Amino acid sequence: MKFIRQTYESFRFAWQALRSNLLRTTLSLLGVTIGIFAIIAVFTIVDSLERNIKDSLSGIGDKVMYIQKWPWGFGGEYQWWKYFQRPEPSLDEFKFLSEKLERAQAVVAMDFRGQVTVKNGNNSILALIQGTSFEYNKISEVPVEQGRYFSQQEIDAARNVSIIGADIAETLFPGQDPVGKEFKLNGLKYVVIGVQQRKGASLLDFGGNPDTKCLIPIGAFAKMYHSVYPSIDIAVKGFETDEGLLELESEVRGVMRARRGLKPMQDDNFALNRPEAAAQAISGLFAVLTVAGWVIGSFSILVGGFGIANIMFVSVKERTNIIGIQKSLGAKNYVILFQFLFEAVFLSLIGGGVGILLVYLLSFMKLGSLEIILSPANILLGIGVSSIIGTVSGILPALVAARLDPVIAIRSK
């Protein structure tokens, strides 16, 4: 009980000391405030960016690989001259893969055309037109809020039907139920069979913003566009049990090489692209940004730590006489140590708390479509770093105060 009481007295004494020198306290905690703000702000923005981009990547499918002409490039020299003469994936190859692949859960053909005007009377909007095959909803979410998804017969017959995004529905059919109504695309009438839920634009809209997307059967898409550019992307989704997709990747490579008649010594003339590679590249980039945040914040925290240490040495000098009186009345060394150490930690925690508060206020700002969220982990990190800085900065002045000779200390002025 005596130890607890003395510890409480140390806390109270430290708090009174900080309050009695409010201006000095405020000035000394600025360095820690700026440092913690810099570190936690960078961490919070990096975490928010990474979450936003990975959410966007999830829109192009989990356990999915894309068969394309061009490989995805993430840093380094992109050797485009090796790829530009490759043949484009075709609908015939999509059908061949659909028949031959045994380890695939779904094989999907898709193609895109951006900034295409769709009309209904005097209402019009620029849309992203995407042709898809029937199993598209197995590789990417298609949350139909009104109406329904495509039927196999509609896809096979290449009928002029469409699933439209929320922005398209509101623009072309204001105040109406769009399902069953017609709109014009390239002069052709299309019937709305479904409307997707509103999602909103994300930082990186891989596959396009669903709110301005118009899904149609791949056959209908081919009739409009493939006479000029007969190319598609082929997506292959593996089963949940195939963790690495290695067996599926080997099977796809073998079937594609056989379809294109490649000899054993010839290189692949197609690319197998996987979203996991993009996620790994993004994680590497954000790791560099995280290190940069530590470096930037560490300089400010270092300055703040020196400031706290300097203030604590001044406090020891100012209160030497009081320390002597406390010791002569029976105060133990650890009581004096705790008084000054608690004062330094309090000072640092207040500075860190203000820095965290500034980051929290920053989270109310909208940076385009990026939503900034201050996570509990980053809050704990800020508190932990502040506590460590306070302890390191205050330990030496506290030890000096605890080791003062009471007789010499009382005589000091």
CA distances from 402 to 30, 318, 332 (A): 27, 14, 8
pLDDT confidence of residue 344: 81
pTM of the model: 0.64
Q: Which helix (H) or strand (E) holds 123?
A: strand 123-132
Question: Under DSSP, is residue 108 helix (H, G, I), strand (E, B) or coil?
Answer: strand
DSSP character at residue 175: T
Q: Is-contact 288 49, C-beta < 8 A?
A: no
Residues composing the chain: 413
The neighbouring-strand residues paired with 131 are 111, 216
Distance (Å, rounded) from C-alpha 182 to C-alpha 119?
9
183 — phi, psi (to 5°)? -140, 170
Provide the total of helices (H) and of strands (E) in the chain, helices listed first. Answer: 13, 10
Count CA atoms closer than 13 A to 344's CA, side-chain side: 31
Q: Which of 132, 134, 63 is nearest to 104 (CA)?
A: 63
Residue 203: per-residue pLDDT: 47
pLDDT of residue 54: 64
pLDDT score of 363:
80
Each residue's pLDDT, cut to its tens digit, for the chain (413 residues) gives: 555 665 566 566 666 666 666 666 676 677 778 878 878 887 888 777 777 766 665 555 567 888 888 888 766 677 777 888 888 898 889 999 998 888 888 899 999 888 899 999 899 999 999 999 999 988 888 889 999 999 999 999 999 999 999 999 999 999 899 999 999 998 899 999 999 998 866 544 455 678 899 999 999 999 888 876 778 889 998 886 656 577 888 888 999 999 999 888 888 888 888 876 666 666 667 777 777 777 777 777 787 788 778 777 877 777 777 777 777 777 777 777 877 787 788 778 888 888 889 888 888 776 666 677 888 888 888 888 888 888 888 888 888 888 887 777 776 65
How many other C-beta atoms can be found within 10 angstroms of the C-beta atom of residue 312? 26
Between CA 276 and CA 272 the distance in angstroms is 12
Task: Return the pLDDT at 292.
Answer: 76
3-state secondary structure 230-244: CCCEEEEEECCCCCC
φ, ψ dihedrals at 249, nearest 5°: -60, -40
Q: Identify whether the C-beta of residue 340 lies closer than 8 Å to the C-beta of residue 322.
A: no
Q: Beta strand 213-217 with 123-132: parallel, antiparallel or unpaired?
A: parallel
Q: Are 352 and 386 in contact (CB under 8 A)?
A: yes
Closest to 199 (Cα-Cα) out of 208, 210, 207: 210
Q: How far is CA 321 from the centre of its chain?
A: 55
Angle between helices 246-260 and 91-100 (to 10 degrees): 130
What values do phi and psi take at 356, rounded to 5?
A: -65, -40
